[in-house]
């Protein structure tokens, strides 16, 4: 233990959730990793410093920005010393001390100075640095990961990783790298814990929808119509059809098996297109995909998804193999470029990027922001502390005149400023704070001067409104402009602050924020959660504060579910938990908790927004819901939700799957016998006397089979397909849990852990563990999701089949979860437990020739698979 660290001691009482986390420290650090998820306001920095003190080793603390780096030193001096007199620290990575505070950028630059990387490793050994603290560790999905991972491979360190949001929405490779460096999550501090303890304010998320401008609507409608016309023309285009018929995959599939197996989606897209053109597909070509001669194949519809796969391969992936047809392919490329669906070697018939870019930048959102600011100001009056965060400054709109406000066609800092200045009352409490543009109203100059001399800045009146001043520093004033504007905002001289998320989204601290508008269309988990964290901090000067977080979405009028903007919001909402809008509130993550309808037609937007404003301004109700919901649980639990996605509403589909399957069949048979067969018996009485009872029974059975045989066949088939879904998923959960236990992933007492599975009202099935810790819950949820999701490319497949199932075309294919499929012995353990709970099955290795055929069949078989529903991991306070 270093003496300097031994002299440190936390001088305040620990919060209950912090004390609980530290109590488990010794068991968590046993693998030399301590990985903690903690939301903004939970004291991550304090916890990190206490862990550094407990380890007692020379330490390098790494942060993503200089602001956050400086906060570490500030917290150390003010929370772990009596007189702020700790001197054994350094900000220079080249001259480390007992505790060195630096940034990821600095370490990366330092790493690049070493031609011989052995000197880099020796530097840390020479200075005896044994602990690495990675603050806001989600940033490590970037290039900074390399210099840290290289260091970890060649030296022994304690790794302390702290983050508010792991980068779960990144690519699988990036997520894998992140956890390789940081280790599995050891513990998590939950937002409800912080709200209960009074360390975070009650808060709620709201979505304000907007309708695109007429020009945007026309653009979208024209785009959709052009694509539809192109598709209709293409299925009648003999030249294109002949081109596909002559394709090597279709003409001689058996000659190109290896290539075909590595890109089955392409081959499938060719078959689906030709089938849509009216061609009868030769069954020999389907046998390549693993289908047997007697099997009836139900081809998927030729939608834009399959059309996209087809052209992505023709124009990009497979182009070098089609060199003889290059002239024709070039004409196809020109057609797609004219349609705006081919750009940067990417085909997109759905218009995800093109339309999303149009809607995300829609000026209709400027009107949304004005409506939100007006409503919040009317509700909170001078207590309003509203921050609007967006992505770009848009300097071209700095001098937009009042007469030309309507000409603003992009969203950004200055467009928002111009709209709020023009349309909202009391513009004097409005300000802009970004990296290169700062604007204040002249009425706050006196308050400004109490913080910093006006002589240290230049103030230039705006051309459009001389009461607003453009602020630029002269030299280096004692207080930075960010600090000055923040103090003015906290004091109430500024009520509405507009800025960029890059400057104010992470590390910036203004506890008074009670209304946050996220006018950013970059929807990653990490960035949205960091920005949202600004509004939920507790304000010591306003103990009854509630935080409203506003999300903006411009609705795609050609898409009933709202389109890509709403999809982006749904992805955002996976990153954080909050209280539901339901009558009986509970705490969960996900977009569903807002009770927004699944379909959002343009004509309903105004009514939706009015209801949202009414709810948002009733802040007392938000606090009451949090208080009620917190009392219903003790910790966050991860569940797997299997979503009902049938074309029919769940209740109707349920009736088909159960009542029409067996129960309804039996009831119908009974009543038919009562009503009709009595008459049959009466009329057949002479037949019984003449030919005997056996003849009558044969006639009766023949009539029954003729009447009900086909219906019975369909009923049994439906039942086998769907069965009692929630019971089956529960049994799958038990197989996973027992496998996890046998493979050593379960550290809790297995006897105290159980699997629960139940059906929700909308038809979704929810499954989770009870009595498990956070890591066990996470591993279970991941494995169950992989098992139920559509088959991709697992190493092992489990096939639930028998002669009876084959006859009814209801074989089910399931991918063995990745954590069990790494070794054959682990896969066999899982199969053993699967057999115990779900009956006989076969295990296939998919990297063999036969296995690849089965894998292809499994991927195409989703049209038969009862578990084709998409799964979702949900976090609930229980």
Closest CA to 392 of 285, 499, 293: 499
Residues 6 or more apart from 344 whose CB is under 8 A from it? none
Q: What is the mean pLDDT of residues 118-134?
A: 94
What is the rounded CA–CA span in Å between residue 147 and residue 111? 6
Q: Compute the distance between CA of residue 838 and CA of residue 802 in angstroms, rounded to an integer.
A: 13
What is the pLDDT at residue 864? Answer: 38
**Which DSSP letter does residue 102 get?**
E
Q: What is the pLDDT of residue 678?
A: 52
Residue 581 included in any domain: no
Q: What is the mean pLDDT of residues 781-791?
A: 86
Pairing label, strands 386-390, 515-519: parallel
Report if residue 206 sits inside a domain.
Answer: no
- Is residue 863 very low, low, confident or very high in pLDDT (cuts 50, 70, 90)? very low
Looking at the structure, tell me whether residues 184 and 228 fall in a common domain: no
Going by pLDDT thresholds of 50, 70 and 90, the confidence category of residue 705 is low
CA distance 172 to 12: 41
Question: Domain containing 725: what range?
Answer: 635-878
Same-domain status, 270 and 170: no
Give residue 680's pLDDT.
52
Q: Could you report the per-residue pLDDT of 821-835, keeping only the tens digit for each? A: 989 999 999 999 999
Q: Which of these three, 298, 324, 358, is where a domain ends? A: 358
> In this predicted model, what pLDDT tens digit does every residue of 256-307 receive, in sequence order?
887 887 787 898 899 999 999 998 887 777 777 666 665 666 777 898 989 9
The percent of residues above 70 in pLDDT, for the chain, comes to 84
Is the residue at 84 inside a domain? yes
Q: Which two tokens stand for residue 77?
A: 């001096």
Q: What is the mean pLDDT of the chain?
A: 84
Q: Quick one: average pLDDT of 768-791? A: 85
Say what the pLDDT of residue 718 is: 47
13 and 91, same domain (yes or no): yes
pLDDT for 801-811, tens place per residue? 654 444 434 45
Adjacent-strand bridge partners of 158: 131
> 347-370 in b/e burial notation, b at 16+ Cβ within 10 A?
bbbbbeebbbebbbbbbbbbbbbb
Residues 825, 828, 829: CA angle, nearest 5 degrees:
90
What average pLDDT does this structure show over 65-89?
A: 92
- Phi and psi at 685, nearest 5°, equal -60, -40
Tell me if 37 sits within 8 A of 185, measured CB to CB: yes
pLDDT band of 1, cuts 50, 70, 90:
confident
Q: Verify that 831 and 865 share a domain, yes or no.
A: yes
* pTM higher than 0.85: no
Q: Report yes or no on 223 lying in a domain.
A: yes
Tokens 């085909």 belong to 347
217 close to 356: Cβ distance less than 8 angstroms: no
Q: Where are the beta strands (DSSP E) in 196-254?
A: 203-210
Least confident span in 166-180, 395-409, 548-562: 166-180
Q: Are 705 and 851 members of one domain?
A: yes
Statement to judge: residues 236 and 98 lie in one domain = no
On whether residue 818 sits in a domain, the answer given is: yes
Q: In the predicted model, what is the mean pLDDT of residues 592-602?
A: 90
- What does the pLDDT look like over 178-209, one tens digit per residue? 888 888 788 888 899 999 988 899 999 999 99
User: Given this model, what pLDDT does residue 848 score?
Assistant: 81
For residue 564, give the nearest of 265, 319, 90, 220 by alpha carbon.
220
**What value does the mean pLDDT take over residues 474-497?**
92
CA atoms within 13 A of residue 122's CA, in its CB half-sphere? 5
Number of domains observed in the structure of the chain: 3
For residue 46, the surrounding DSSP H or E stretch is helix 44-55
Mean pLDDT value of segment 520-549: 79
Whole-number Å distance between alpha carbons of 832 and 739:
9
Q: Is residue 14 part of a domain?
A: yes
We report the CATH number of the domain holding residue 78 as 3.40.50.300
Q: Which of 189, 204, 225 is the last residue of a domain?
A: 189
Domain boundary among 358, 392, 425: 358
With beta carbons less than 8 A apart as the criterion, state whether 372 and 383 touch. no
Whether residue 817 sits in one domain with residue 729:
yes
Residue position matching structure tokens 């640095």: 129
The more confidently predicted of residues 476 and 248 is 248
| Range from 242-246, 489-493, 748-752 carrying the lowest mean pLDDT | 748-752
Helical (H) or strand (E) element with 248: helix 248-251
Q: Is the pLDDT of residue 669 over 80?
A: no
Asked whether the predicted pLDDT for residue 656 surpasses 90, the reply is no
Q: Note whether 751 and 849 are same-domain residues.
A: yes
pLDDT beyond 50 at 372: yes
Reply yes or no on whether the pLDDT at 860 is more than 90: no
pLDDT at 838: 87
Number of CB atoms found within 10 A of residue 600's CB: 22
Whether residue 240 sits in one domain with residue 102: no
- Residue 325 inside a domain? The answer is yes
Cβ neighbours for 72, distance < 8 A, ≥ 6 positions apart = 45, 48, 49, 61, 63, 101, 135
**pLDDT number for residue 321:** 93
Cβ distance 810 to 717 under 8 Å? yes
Q: Please, are residues 783 and 794 in contact by the beta-carbon 8 Å criterion?
A: no
Indicate the range of 46-55, 58-67, 521-530 predicted with least confidence.
521-530
Q: Is residue 846 part of a domain?
A: yes
Q: Is the distance from CB of 44 to CB of 135 less than 8 angstroms?
A: yes
CA nearest neighbour of 747 among 371, 219, 84, 187 = 187
State whether 123 and 222 are in the same domain: no
Do 22 and 111 share a domain, yes or no?
A: yes
The span from the CA of 386 to the CA of 376, in Å, is 8
Are residues 272 and 343 part of one domain? yes
Determine the straight-line distance between the first and last CA of the chain, rounded to whole angstroms.
Answer: 40
Task: Return d(Cα 724, Cα 721) in angstroms, integer.
Answer: 10
In terms of DSSP H, where are the helices of 765-810?
774-788, 803-807
pLDDT category at 443 given cuts 50, 70, 90 is: very high
What is the per-residue pLDDT for 875? 80
- Is a pLDDT exceeding 50 seen at residue 463? yes
């Amino acid at each position: 233990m270093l003496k300097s660290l031994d002299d440190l001691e936390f001088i305040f009482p620990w919060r209950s959730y912090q004390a609980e986390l530290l109590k488990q420290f010794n068991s968590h650090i046993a693998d030399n990793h301590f990985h903690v998820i903690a939301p903004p306001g939970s004291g991550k920095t304090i916890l990190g410093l206490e862990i550094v003190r407990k380890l007692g080793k020379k330490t390098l603390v790494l942060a993503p920005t200089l602001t956050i780096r400086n906060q570490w030193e500030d917290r150390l001096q003010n929370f772990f010393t009596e007189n702020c007199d700790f001197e054994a620290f350094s900000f220079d990575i080249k001259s480390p001390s007992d505790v060195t505070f630096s940034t990821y950028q600095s370490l990366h630059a330092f790493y690049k100075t070493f031609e011989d990387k052995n000197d880099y490793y020796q530097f840390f050994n020479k200075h005896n640095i044994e602990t690495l603290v990675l603050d806001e560790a989600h940033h490590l999905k970037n290039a900074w990961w390399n210099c840290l991972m290289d260091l970890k491979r060649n030296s022994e360190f304690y790794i302390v990783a702290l983050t508010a949001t792991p980068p779960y929405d990144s690519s699988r490779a990036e997520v894998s790298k992140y956890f390789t460096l940081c280790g599995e999550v050891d513990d998590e501090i939950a937002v409800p814990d912080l709200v209960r303890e009074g360390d975070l304010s009650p808060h709620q998320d709201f979505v304000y929808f907007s309708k695109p401008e007429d020009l945007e609507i026309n653009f979208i409608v024209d785009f959709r119509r052009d694509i539809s016309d192109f598709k209709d023309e293409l299925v009648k285009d003999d030249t294109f059809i002949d081109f596909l018929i002559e394709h090597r995959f279709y003409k001689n599939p058996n000659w190109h098996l290896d290539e075909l197996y590595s890109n089955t989606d392409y081959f499938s897209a060719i078959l689906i297109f030709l089938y849509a053109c009216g061609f009868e597909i030769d069954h020999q070509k389907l046998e390549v995909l693993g289908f047997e001669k007697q099997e009836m194949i139900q081809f998927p519809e030729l939608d834009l998804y399959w059309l996209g796969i087809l052209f992505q391969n023709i124009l990009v992936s497979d182009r070098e193999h089609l060199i003889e047809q290059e002239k024709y392919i070039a004409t196809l490329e020109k057609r797609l470029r004219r349609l705006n669906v081919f750009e940067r070697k990417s085909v997109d018939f759905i218009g995800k990027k093109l339309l999303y870019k149009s809607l995300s930048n829609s000026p209709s959102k400027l009107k949304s922001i004005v409506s939100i600011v007006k409503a919040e100001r009317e509700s909170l009056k001078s207590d309003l502390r509203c921050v609007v965060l967006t992505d770009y400054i848009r300097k071209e709109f700095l001098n937009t005149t009042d007469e030309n406000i309507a000409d603003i066609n992009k969203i950004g800092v200055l467009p928002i400023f111009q709209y709020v200045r023009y349309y909202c009352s009391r513009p004097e409490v409005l300000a802009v704070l970004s990296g290169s543009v700062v604007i204040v109203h002249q009425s706050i100059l006196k308050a400004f001067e109490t913080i910093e001399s006006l002589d240290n800045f230049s103030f230039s009146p705006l051309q459009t409104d001389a009461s607003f001043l453009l602020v630029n520093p002269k030299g280096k004033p004692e207080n930075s402009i960010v600090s000055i504007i923040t103090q003015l905002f906290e004091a109430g001289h500024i009520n509405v602050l507009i800025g960029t998320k890059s400057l104010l989204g992470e590390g910036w601290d203004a506890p008074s924020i009670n209304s946050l508008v996220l006018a950013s269309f970059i929807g990653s988990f990490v960035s949205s959660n960091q920005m949202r964290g600004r509004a939920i901090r507790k304000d010591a000067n306003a103990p009854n504060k509630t935080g409203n977080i506003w999300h903006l979405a411009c609705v795609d009028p050609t898409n009933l579910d709202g389109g890509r903007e709403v999809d982006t919001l749904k992805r955002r909402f996976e990153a954080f938990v909050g209280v539901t809008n339901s009558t009986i509130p509970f705490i969960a993550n996900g977009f569903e908790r807002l009770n927004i309808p699944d379909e959002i037609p343009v004509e309903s937007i105004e009514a939706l927004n009015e209801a949202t404003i009414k709810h948002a301004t009733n802040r007392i109700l938000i606090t009451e819901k949090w208080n009620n919901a917190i009392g219903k649980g003790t910790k966050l639990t991860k569940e797997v939700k299997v979503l009902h996605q049938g074309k029919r509403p769940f209740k109707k589909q349920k009736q088909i799957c159960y009542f029409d399957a067996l129960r309804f069949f039996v009831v119908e048979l009974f009543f038919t016998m009562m009503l009709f067969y009595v008459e049959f018996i009466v009329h057949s009485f002479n037949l019984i006397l003449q030919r005997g009872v056996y003849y009558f029974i044969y006639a009766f059975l023949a009539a029954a089979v003729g009447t009900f045989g086909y219906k019975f066949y369909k009923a049994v088939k439906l039942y086998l397909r769907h069965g009692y879904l929630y019971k089956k998923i529960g049994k799958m959960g038990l197989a996973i849990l027992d496998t996890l236990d046998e493979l050593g992933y379960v550290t809790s007492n297995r006897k105290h852990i159980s699997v629960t599975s139940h059906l929700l009202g909308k038809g979704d099935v929810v499954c989770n563990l009870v009595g498990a810790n956070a890591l066990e819950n996470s591993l279970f949820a991941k494995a169950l999701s992989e098992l139920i999701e559509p088959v991709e490319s697992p190493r092992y497949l489990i096939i639930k089949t028998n002669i009876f199932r084959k006859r009814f075309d209801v074989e089910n294919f399931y991918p063995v979860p990745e954590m069990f499929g790494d070794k054959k012995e682990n896969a066999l353990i899982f199969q053993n437990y699967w057999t115990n709970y779900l009956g006989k099955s076969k295990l296939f290795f998919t990297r063999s020739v036969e296995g690849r055929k089965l894998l292809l069949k499994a991927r195409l078989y989703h049209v038969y698979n009862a578990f084709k529903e998409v799964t979702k991991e949900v976090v609930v306070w229980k």
